[in-house]
Amino acid sequence: MNDEVGSNAAPLIEHLTELRSRLIRSVLAFLVGMIICFTVWNSIFNFLTYPLCSAMMERGQEDCGLILIKLQEGFFVAISISFLGGFILAFPYIAFQLWRFVAPGLYKTEKGAFLPFLLASPFMFFLGASFAFWIVTPLAFDFFLGFQQPGSLGELEEGEGGIAAVAFQGSAQEYLSLTIKFIVAFGLCFQLPVLLTLMGKVGLVSSDGLKTVRKYAVVGILVMAAIVTPPDIITQVILFVVVYGLYEVSIYLVRRVETKRAKDIDTAEPTDADK
């Protein structure tokens, strides 16, 4: 019995050692990416201000500068950008290390089944993040900027009432946080086809089942859109339309998986009969 325990413990120790090695490599890659992004955080931040600047320029406001409310705010903005950028740069290497750790325990058919989903997941996240950055955020920021108003205190004669000016003076840290929320929210929502298709591949969901719960999915998507987006109707409607469209695409992809599985079973049955 001791020999049996020892033989089981040895592979476990080897797996833990390999896991430790790959985690260390992943952390080092993340730190390198973070350092690289920290050296160019100004350029990255200037790029991230495009949605705000474009929305303000359309309103005739050429100055889209942001302010630092707290003394240490600029440092934390740089750290936040470095953290996010470092993870993005290191993600391909981290995913490769994760795959190298998991792949030896999978059958060849399992590798062929899961590898396309592992490749599709970052692509769909990038697609959702790009959609949020180039389309959604300019519309949302234009909506928010619409609550400004020009003042008239210096244009009136004595004794007349005036209107106080309401102008946007944004915090750099709050703007960065809001932009990242948009990007991450849409990036995660674009994972829906990948997740549901993978679940259909392993038999956890079916196209008929997804059609049956469609009305509940609509309610769930509406609730999610209200939670993960700022409280403006434009962004919430855009997110709902996009995610619901992805839900319908997921039904189509799951149906294709089921059709392919049925064809494989039909072609395998005559072979078994011939034997």
User: Could you give the 3-state DSSP secondary structure of residue 64?
Assistant: coil
Digitized pLDDT (tens) for each residue of the chain, 275 residues in all: 444 444 444 577 888 889 999 999 999 999 999 999 999 999 999 999 999 998 888 888 877 889 999 999 999 999 999 999 999 999 999 989 988 888 887 777 777 777 788 888 899 999 999 999 998 888 888 888 888 887 665 555 554 556 777 888 889 999 999 999 889 888 988 999 999 998 888 888 899 999 999 999 999 988 888 877 766 777 788 888 999 999 999 999 999 988 988 887 878 765 554 54
76 burial type by CB count under 10 A (0-12 exposed, 13-18 middle, 19+ buried): middle
pTM of the full predicted structure? Answer: 0.81
Contacts 24+ apart (CB under 8 A), 96-103: 97/22, 97/25, 97/26, 98/22, 98/26, 100/22, 101/18, 101/19, 101/22
138 burial type by CB count under 10 A (0-12 exposed, 13-18 middle, 19+ buried): middle
Handedness of CA 220, 218, 145, 166 (dihedral sign): negative
User: Could you give the 3-state DSSP secondary structure of residue 135?
Assistant: helix
